[in-house]
Amino acid sequence: MNKPLSGIRVLELGQLIAGPFAAKMLGEFGAEIIKVEPPVKGDPLRKWRLIHDGTSVWWQVQSRNKKSITLDLRQAEAQAVIRSLVKEVDVVIENFKPGALEGWGLGWEQLQAINPRLVMLRVSGYGQTGPYRDLPGFGAIGEAMGGLRHLSGEPGRTPVRVGVSIGDSLSALHGVIGVLLALRARDQQGGQGQMIDVALHESVFNMMESLLPEYAVFGEVRQAAGSSLPGIAPSNAYRCKDNKYVLIAGNGDSIFKRLMAVIGRNDLGNDPALENNVGRVRQVDMIDAAISQWTGEHALDDVLAALNANHIPAGKIYDVADIADDPHYQARGMILDSTLPDGTPIKLPGIVPKLSATPGEVRSAAPALGQHTDEVLADLGIDESTRQAWRKRGII
């Protein structure tokens, strides 16, 4: 069965997270991904986090369904290879600092001249324009500038990161949307490609809900609120008798009444002052205290059983062990069993989104560094003797 992106060829020039994550998603839905890595060391992600047999296990997620070739983009011969590949691909993905590709003669204008159908995704800290364009920017900086870091953590304490590189991943997702839109526009407009400019901080800012309009209208500067959901009540994490926490989202009007019945507080559920969110927010501390008293008298499993039976949105706080053992994750194909190159078993995340007719798939494991260099260069007509000479010079 053809996949949605079958026939689309992608040249990935990015490293680490944002650009490669975008290419990973395109590859899962059928695109051919040719990943360019620096010779010898490769993508730095190969050495990030926990290492098995010399390579990060993260690599097995981020680089599945990709071909790896090595090229030193600082050298003229490697730049010529990129130009040759650009003639044959649909998409180029890069997340270098703005101006880096232009310095190698591989900027948008140069590549578009080679292939007018080209779609180019450029991910950077601050975007390709603007006064901050040339500043170095990583995901953590984008999260801070986009407003997320200010809201993360407990009130009055040091702002914290959310635990993963969410700024990079959000930028990758926006990049994937941009690529799909640009490919659609190309089909509609006679084959003309375009450039997609994704900034890390803008991708985070796009997730900030009502942050800006609340400031504009009310002068409200939203602050960190810990586990609660400011302005929406009740929605919080509550300690149970066994010192585990339950998340309860009882903020719908009818849900709130059912929640109060479960915890034995029909007086609150029937209070006209609490019949809608506006009134509940005014008395959120009192409501949270009532819920906490009830959860503190019961173990987490009993709390969840009671809430689920009454159709009240609730859940425990999962760690990765919970995820790996959860039957719902397994039933939906979100835990994939695989093996590392040396045969070591490994579990990998499944694929989202889930398409009913043309679902994504893992066609190949993450490649060894330069595993496909000879194959790709040979297809371009670069003979073996030339490739050997390039290896001696560190070009590949």
Catalytic residue list:
168
Neighbours of 388 (CB within 10 A): 10
Sort 374 into a burial class: Cβ within 10 Å, 0-12 / 13-18 / 19+. Answer: middle
Neighbours of 322 (CB within 10 A): 11
In the three-class reduction of DSSP (H, G, I as helix; E, B as strand; rest coil), residue 103 is classed as: helix
CA–CA separation, 304 and 292 (whole Å):
14
Please give the structure tokens belonging to residue 37: 């890595």
- Cα–Cα distances in Å, from 278 out to 18, 144, 233, 254, 282? 39, 30, 9, 14, 7
Taking alpha carbons only, the member of 145, 144, 119, 149 closest to residue 131 is 145
DSSP state of 366: P
Q: Is the peptide bond before 116 cis (omega within 30 degrees of 0)?
A: no
- For 228-292, the DSSP string reads S-TTSSSEEEEE-TTS-EEEEE--SHHHHHHHHHHTT-HHHHT-GGGSSHHHHHHTHHHHHHHHH
Q: Which amino acid belongs to residue 66?
A: K
CA–CA separation, 292 and 270 (whole Å):
19
Contact 215, 188 (CB under 8 A): no
Please give the structure tokens belonging to residue 22: 């975008």
CA–CA separation, 34 and 85 (whole Å):
9
CA–CA separation, 396 and 341 (whole Å):
23
Q: Is the peptide bond before 367 cis (omega within 30 degrees of 0)?
A: no
Report the helix count and the strand count for the chain, using DSSP H and E: 19, 13
Contact 293, 234 (CB under 8 A): no
